[in-house]
Structure formats: C-alpha cells, structure tokens
Structure 1
C-alpha cells in the first residue's frame, strides 16, 4: 500500500525549539537560586519543574504559556512562598521573550519538504500554543509547501486517525516524521501508519519513550534529508 500523505512535526523537527526552553530554564535557575532553602541543589529544582510541567500539561497544554506558569508555580513552591514579586515578574518576562524568538530552520528541512512537495500530500501536525505555532510557521517560510496544517492539543492515535483521514487516505497510507518517539512516532504507528523518528540532540523530558524497534512500520533516520530515500524504499516493497 503506497504512502499518499506525509505528516511533519514542527518543533525540533523542522526548526529549533527546545534550546530556547533550556536557555530560559537556566535563567530561571539563576534568578530563583537565592530564594531556595539553603543546601537545595539545582537537580532538585529541575525535578520540581518537570513534576510541575507533568501535572500541568493536561490543564495548560503544551508550549510556552504552560512552561511559564509551571516555572512560576515551581518558584513559589521551592521558595516556600517567599519568592519576591520582582522575581515572578522576571520569569513572566522570560516567558514573553520566548514567544518572540526567531525561527531557525534545521538543516535539510526546506530541501526535504521541497523534494516531496507535489508527489505527496504534505501536512504539518504540531501541538502547542496556537498563536505561537502560527507565528513560527509564518516566519519559517515553509507554509506554502504544506497542503494542510493541524495544530492539535495533543498527539494521540485517534488524533492521527482523524487528521490523516481528513487530509489524506487514512493513517494506513500515511507517514509521520518527528523527533518525539512519544508524540510523533508511537501514536502514529498505533493509528496504523508509519512512524519515522528523526532524533534531535535536545528533547523535552516528557517526550521520552522506548523506541518500537521491532515494529515493521517504525524507522529511525540520522536526519530529515534521508526521508525521501526511505519513502522510496518503502514504496518499492512488494
């Protein structure tokens, strides 16, 4: 069964994203450190922030806004309620700054999409803050190359089934490429399609998952530029 529709993740698949979160998290650690109990370590702060993000993602969703609110919650918790308003204001400012960072395409992102455009239906499937994702897509210069764009609240098998049916011939004839095993690969395979992992050096802790190495519709590539050759190989199979 030939592939008709190809989905691409956005953040850390087509353009850099996680590095801005990590830079902001490092700044957060600096400003909150003087207000943490004596002897508290940086690892403790990281664990508390990840725990807050894990709790809050179902309420605030994915993206900068949820991350900023989780930093504020963590600052109040680790300081035992003594964090000054000025520090909270600085954390808010850091979050707003993240919403203006420039879009920096990953190597081979444009060339790969251009190589596949016209041969397949191309779809961007991303999650996060709606306005921020629309901004990044507009600034990326890639928008006109996609036949469809889906900004979803979460990436689950039923979501992939719906969007690949809406914009293609169903998930069974679809392929999803992305840097997250948990969000881009595993649920797409569970929906019946191909899941292609494009690893990125920086991946958010909540996106880690074991690779489905033995599944016949799983593949891992060194970079996005290898995707057209993989698709040709898949379609050459009897």
Structure 2
C-alpha cells in the first residue's frame, strides 16, 4: 500500500532531549554524593521514575518529583531543604534549556512535506512539549501535532485514521524502539528506527530484526531515499 502519512517522534528524533536529563542527573548525583554511591543513586532514581509513571506521566515534572522522592529515601528523610531547593532549581533550568534540532531535520521535513501528511506524535508534559516545538521552529512543517500520554498500537491506529488514510498507509519515524517502532508495527504501519546516542532505560527494547515493514536509518537525512525505495 502506498505510504501517505508520516508520523514523527519529537524528543531525540527532531531535537536533543535526553542529554538534558543526563546533565540534570549528574547535577543530582553531585548534590547527594555524601549520602550514597552514584550507581546506587541511579538505580533508586530509575526505580522511582518507574513507579511514578502511572501517577505523573512522562516529562520533566515527573522526573523532578522522582528526584525529590529519591533524595528523601536515600537520606532516610534527612535531606536538607537546601538540596531540595537545588533540585527544584535544576528542574526549572530544564524547562528553559535551549532546544537544538538534530542534523538534517529541517531539510528532511521540507523535502517530504509536499508529498506526505506529516504528523508530530510525542508523549510527555503538554506545556513542555509545546514549548520545545515552538522553540525548535519546526511546527510549520506539520499538518497536525498530537501530544499523548502513551504510545500504543491503538494510539497509532487512532491518530493515523484521524489524520491520514489509516495505519497501513502510514510510517512512524523515531528513536525509541519501544514507543515508536514496536507499537507502530503492531498497528500495521511502517516503523523507521533512527538511533540516538543515548536511550533512556525505560525506552530500551530489542530491535525487531527481520520484521515486516521495519527499517533503520542512520539519521533523518536518509529518510527521503528510503521513501523513494518503498514507493510503488
């Protein structure tokens, strides 16, 4: 079936994002260095994030609350208020961090936008995702923007029906195998993996080598050639 609709992930597909979280984790570790070992702290923070996803969802706010919870836990509830204040400052700094588009992104979106419907499909905090999209200046390339709480096969079926001609004639492009590729393939779409230098532990999954409609490209600049090869 002819591909008519392209879905794009945002964070670490269109612009750098995980770098900001890693820098903040390093800042968090420095604040609590006298209370616990760094490796142990990383494990505790990840466990808190995993527990809190169902309460706070994805994004900076949930991350900051998980850091505060972890700080309370590893200090046996003795964490100084000054450290909690610095954690909050770190979270605020994340919300104002410059948005840096990845290489080839703008040129690729410009190259394909006249031939396909382009849908931005991202998960996370509504306010922060809208901020990053505005700061990236990439919004003009998209026919629709969808900020969702989770990416599942049902999510892609619904969105590609809403904005395109169905999942079977759509392609989802992103850096997360777990969120961008596997559920899109399950929905019947093409899935294009664009690896990023860092993958959050909660987004790691095995690449579906040999799966029908699965593709890998080194960067978004290779997308137009892939679409040309798949054209009927």
Query: What is the TM-score of this pair, normalised by structure 1?
Result: 0.96
Q: 2:74 aligns with which of 70, 74, 78?
A: 78
Q: CA deviation at 1:21?
A: 0.3
- Mapped pair 1:164 → 2:160: yes
- Look up the match of 2:102: 106
TM-superposed CA distance for 1:234, in Å, is 1.3
Quote the offset at 1:203 in angstroms: 1.3
Instruction: Work out the CA distance in 2 between the residues paired with 1:41 and 1:89.
Output: 21
RMSD of equivalent CA atoms: 0.7
Runs of 4+ in 1 over 4 A off after TM superposition: none
Give unpaired runs (5+ residues) of structure 1.
Answer: none
The aligned residue for residue 8 of structure 1 is 8
Structure 1 residue 202, shift from structure 2 partner: 1.1
Instruction: Name the counterpart of 2:56.
Output: 60
| SS of the residue 1:16 aligns to | coil
Alignment of 1:35-46 (within 5 A): 36=35, 40-46=36-42
Q: How far does the alpha carbon of each residue in 1:157-177 deviate from its partner, in whole angstroms, 9 at most, with x for none?
A: 101110010000011100000
Q: 1:234 & 1:66 partners in 2: Cα distance?
A: 40
Distance (whole Å) between structure 2 residues aligned to residue 41 and residue 26 of structure 1: 12
- Cα distance in 1 between the residues matched to 2:205 and 2:14: 21
Aligned length: 232
Equivalent of residue 182 in structure 2, options 186, 203, 208: 186
For residue 41 of structure 1, report the CA deviation from its aligned partner: 2.0
Instruction: Provide the residue aligned with 1:32 in structure 2.
Output: 32
Q: Structure 2: give runs of 5+ residues left out of the alignment.
A: none
